[in-house]
Amino acid sequence: MNVEIVVLAAGEGTRMRSDVPKVLHEIGGKPMLAHVLDAARVLQPTAIRVVVGAGGEAVRLCFAGQLDLVWVEQAQRLGTGHATLQAMPAVAEAATTLVLCGDAPLIESDTLARCVAESERSSGLALVTADAPDPAGLGRIVRDGRGQVQAIVEERDATPAQQRITEINSGIMAAPAKLLKRLLAAIGSNNAQGEHYLTDAVGVAAKDGVPVVALKAGSYAEVAGVNDRAQLAAAERLHQRGRAAAFMHEGLTLLDPARFDVRGDLRFGRDCSVDVNVVFEGEVTLGAGVRIGPNCLIRNATLEDGCRVEANTVVDGAHIGANASVGPFARLRPGTELGADVRIGNFVETKQARIGAGAKANHLAYLGDAAVGAGSNIGAGAITCNYDGAAKHETRIGDRAFIGTNATLVAPLEIGDDAYVGAGSTVTSRVGPGDLAVGRAKQRNIKGWTPPARRKRQR
């Protein structure tokens, strides 16, 4: 197939009430336009031309570096027909042109391929339609007594009888480029908006005896456009529902697929389980047998076989070794690397930290810019003081070290293998292997001390 694609992405999206161009609003963690382009690329087109208008510079910037995209500007917003016409001069006349909408993010590549195939089979105009449960505001497909498509009528121009039609136009059509150029040139602007509607090409084709073939999408959801925040939220849920179904088919256990979000790419091994309200962002890889508890955020992370992430935990830019346990209420920040069988417990935060196999920090600790050896224990309330107000410094803790409760480790600092740090100590200098470091203020007990409340009563 010699296919050239035109994507209409010039709409301002006033109903979104946003400074962000409509096609850049996100579904599943990426712009709506990106979903449309992904579906289009499956067809391996010879060119993809994206028509932009208001906010076009922001759209170009978002897709900078995608060299297969050709940008076309619609300087005046005179309708979808006018927008399509801006891209057509550069389209090869021997190509089949496929016109897509940048704000219909759930379109499937199979539907696009069928549309192109129908156009090439008939040498005419092919369009994608759907039966809408509520067609309000959408263009209606008008057929004659034999069921042949005669026109697409926008709702504001439709008669009461036409408004009762539930088959709607998706905005997706394919035609030989030479034919489409001729049809677009014949479109007028005699309508309620005074615009050149792309949909009027159907009426022109029918009058000229050009074959018009309408094929229905798999569902209305697939072609639903997004024009406001409510429709954006609805499209998000449909997208997530589809991804959840696909993941479960591939073997992922979801305790409630309605409460599950992937905003990026998720890969997983056998026998993984995900509890409710878990959000995956960016690139996430789960090994075999991984368990994710409820209300967790996993972003740009790798979790090896047998890992367990307990409830209300954030894993961001971390690598978690096999059979490690994290949480509940833990936060692993970028640069965290946990070895096998590590335990990171509740209210523990790590950042740029390498934790050796079998080490433990079970509660209420901060390990930033730290290297912790295998088998070491970090007590409750222990922290690494890694920032001096100007630069970050590293704390290095050897194997099998024991860091007592409420220890303050002032970096740069090295603590040797098998060393101990007493509870409540502030450590500022090197601790040798096997040594005990105690850095506490001397305790004083004041006999006969009178608390302030008692003093006040004695007055």
Cis amide prior to 412 (ω within 30 degrees): yes
Q: How far apart are CA 83 and CA 79, in angstroms?
A: 6
**How many residues can be counted in the chain?**
459
Strands 395-397 and 413-415: parallel
CB 424 within 8 A of CB 441: no
Query: Of 35, 196, 319, 363, which is the active-site residue?
Result: 363
Residue in the block written with tokens 């079998």: 358
Q: Which residue type, as a one-letter code, is found at position 95? A: A
Residue in the block written with tokens 């833990």: 330
Of 318, 301, 320, 312, the closest CA to residue 276 belongs to 312
* DSSP summary character for residue 442: P
Q: How far apart are CA 273 and CA 286, in angstroms?
A: 10
Residue 363 annotated among the catalytic residues of the structure = yes
Token output for 264: 């990026």
Q: How far apart are CA 459 and CA 452, in angstroms?
A: 11
Q: How far apart are CA 435 and CA 452, in angstroms?
A: 42
Tally Cβ neighbours within 10 Å of residue 106.
Answer: 23
Taking CA atoms, 211 is separated from 95, 175, 202, 309, in Å, by 17, 10, 10, 58
Of 259, 256, 252, 330, the closest CA to residue 290 belongs to 252
Of 31, 211, 223, 35, the closest CA to residue 138 belongs to 223
Dmax (CA) for the chain in angstroms is: 108
Packing angle of the helix pair 80-87, 177-185 (nearest 10 deg): 130
Name the strand (E) or helix (H) holding 71: strand 69-73
Of 8, 176, 151, 169, the closest CA to residue 86 belongs to 8
Residues designated catalytic: 363
